[in-house]
Amino acid sequence: MIRLALLDDHPAVLAGLQRLLAPARDMEVLAAAADEVALARDLRGRLPDVLIVDYDPGRGDALALCRRVKARPGALRVLIYTAYASPALAVAARAAQADGLLDKSEPAPALLAAIRRIADGESVLPTVSRGEFEAAVARLEDTDLPIFAMLLDGAAILTIAEGLRTDEAEAARRA
């Protein structure tokens, strides 16, 4: 059984996801919430296998949440499910150590397949061309390139902080 946690600030999306996932005999939604605090409360200590989290560029918190989740020992798998999928977001999702990125416009079978693949340990991140990667990197400040490289290598925030000779809060802000 694949245990899921859903995080999306739109109640209609959460309800739709729950209706879509309910018939899947190999999946169980443990909790669904609009924010991290409510999700943690609703999970009541139960550990999901896969976190499905919305990305909204106005909030941008999905990438930070993904980095925090993936920094924990025995980290769960993370699927970023968004209406804003793009090559630049795919690069950022990889840097945040997301296990998958899927556009909300994809049909339901694609979402179910992505969840199953991620639960099996596969990556479901779109391929990014060299040109798309270079365009995403070109938007970074020169001082952020080493941080980006460390994130792509899977470095933890503490390691990045040590490399920058700064505290974890500053490293997390810059990451």
pLDDT at 74: 79
**Tens digit of pLDDT for each residue in 46-58?**
999 999 999 976 6
C-alpha distance across the termini of the chain, in Å: 34
**Tens digit of pLDDT for each residue in 68-106?**
888 888 779 999 999 988 888 898 898 889 999 999 999
Q: Out of 3.40.50.2300, 3.30.950.10, 3.90.1300.10, 3.40.50.300, which CATH number does the structure's domain 2-127 have? A: 3.40.50.2300
Across the chain, mean pLDDT equals: 86
* Domain residue ranges of the chain, discontinuous segments joined by +: 2-127, 140-175
- pLDDT > 70: percent of the chain: 85
Q: Does 32 score more than 90 pLDDT? A: yes
**Tens digit of pLDDT for each residue in 132-158?**
777 777 776 767 666 777 766 666 767
Q: Which residue has the higher pLDDT, 171 or 128?
A: 128
Confidence of residue 23 (pLDDT cuts 50, 70, 90): very high
pLDDT at 54: 94
pLDDT at 82: 93
pLDDT at 53: 96
Q: Which residue has the higher pLDDT, 78 or 173?
A: 78
Whole-model pTM: value is 0.81
